[in-house]
Amino acid sequence: MSFSRNLDFRTGGSKVRAAPQDSFRIRPDYPMMKPFSHSGNPVRGGATLGRRGFLGAALAAAVLPAGRLRAETAAEAEAWPRRFTHAFGETVIEKPAVRVVSLGYTTQDTLLALGVVPLAVRYWYGDAPFGVWPWAADRLDGAEPVLLTGESGIETVAALQPDLIVGIGSGLGQAEYAVLSQIAPVLMHAPDAPVYGMPWPELTRTLARATGKEAEAEAAIAGVGAQFAAARARHPDWQGKTATAAYHFNGETGAYVAFDGRAQFLTGLGFSLSPLIAGYAGKDFYRPLSPEDLSALEADVLIWMTSTPNDPDLVALPMRRLLKAHIEGREVYASGAPSVALSFGSILSLPYALSALEADIAAAIDGDPATPVASAVAAGLAP
């Protein structure tokens, strides 16, 4: 048995389609940025494997119910074994998991936040050593997880002898789940949730229950909530203003919609989405727009999501130049690690993204068109 990572980046190098669940092909279904070049990160153990992050709606206080993927009762949540219901059935974990394989495209962040260093990390894209980005790298504490990337036999996972496999946000099909369950308990997304749609506080609490790290989880969730609350307090003028997270790639321009993590990052800071984006009723996490009419992107601040330091096609996009957000200097260009941090939408990456983007957002929305927005100026987007 093998897994393949078949990326089909259509827009912004960022949106990808999911293969059928039982096809033994794994495609991240997530509005990510164009993949960075892979420069030969350490890949140990001959391991390879073939997403969509969802920022929780409760950034304001970061207190969601322990909800969808959960132990059956509060009493059971206090004792072992613990039962977790999910899209493929029920998983029973007999004792706190210690040897954990992370197959979700971003679940390594959550495990590391809880003090659990995974035995192996699923490669998504980019050049981060061991698949761990700067906001989480220090939590490896010298460990070198196996990086699962490309094509691989399941024997690699079995050889690690895990006592838990995290499949939440992985795109695994039921057949793959069944095989992996013969190796160790496997956690998957909830029955009523999108494959990549678990909010970060809920994901953190779920993995905390599986690893016996509930106290660590609550402290970390409260910490992130406090950081966003402090940002809102620093910027009361943001409250009620509109913001849009947008992409442009291969001739397609669009915006990330209300339930996507990048949009919820903005609402967590007190912004509202532009009405035409907030009201989008489609099933996709993005809304493509006609190149002849980009008016749906209009907002008090417009954030372009990308992986490259500059984008000549975006700079030259004719209809962008007609947007008031451009004319009045209210664009932010989020690229590189800050853009990846937003796309991860994890308990560790969100504070990183906030720190990286706060000053530019403040400059873009200060009401003075003459105020330079550093990222937009550097990318050639400034009017």
User: Which option is the CATH number for 2-220: 3.30.950.10, 3.40.1280.10, 3.40.50.1980, 3.40.50.10860?
Assistant: 3.40.50.1980
List of residues 6+ apart from 199 with CB closer than 8 A: 54, 55, 56, 57, 58, 64
Q: Model pTM greater than 0.75?
A: yes
Q: Are 206 and 168 in contact (CB under 8 A)?
A: yes
Look at residue 12 in the predicted model and tell me its pLDDT. Answer: 31
Please report which confidence band the pLDDT of residue 250 belongs to, taking 50, 70 and 90 as the band edges: confident
For 224-260, the DSSP string reads HHHHHHHHHHH-GGGTT-EEEEEEEETTEEEEE-TTS
C-alpha span between 145 and 326 (Å, rounded): 44
- Could you tell me which of 249, 280, 288, 376 has the C-alpha nearest to residue 325? 376
Q: What is the pLDDT of residues 342-353, one digit of tens each?
A: 999 999 999 999
* Percent of the chain residues past pLDDT 90, beyond the cut: 67
Q: What is the pLDDT of residues 192-201, one digit of tens each?
A: 877 876 889 9
- Could you tell me which of 270, 199, 245 has the C-alpha nearest to residue 31? 245
Amino acid identity at 156:
T
C-alpha span between 117 and 343 (Å, rounded): 21
Q: Strand 286-289 and strand 252-256: pairing? A: antiparallel
CA distances from 62 to 199, 289, 295 (A): 10, 32, 32
Q: Strand 100-102 and strand 89-93: pairing? A: unpaired
Q: What is the pLDDT of residues 58-83, one digit of tens each?
A: 343 343 444 444 443 343 446 999 99
- Tell me if domain 2-220 and domain 224-379 are identical in fold: yes
- Report domain extents, the chain: 2-220, 224-379
Average pLDDT over the chain, rounded to whole?
83
C-alpha span between 111 and 227 (Å, rounded): 20
The token pair at 383 is: 């009017």
CA distances from 58 to 199, 229, 246, 267, 274 (A): 9, 11, 22, 9, 19
Look at residue 125 in the predicted model and tell me its pLDDT. Answer: 86
Please report which confidence band the pLDDT of residue 359 belongs to, taking 50, 70 and 90 as the band edges: very high
C-alpha span between 83 and 368 (Å, rounded): 55
- In CATH terms, the superfamily for domain 224-379 is Nitrogenase molybdenum iron protein domain (3.40.50.1980)
Residue 154 exposed, middle or buried by CB count within 10 Å (0-12, 13-18, 19+): middle
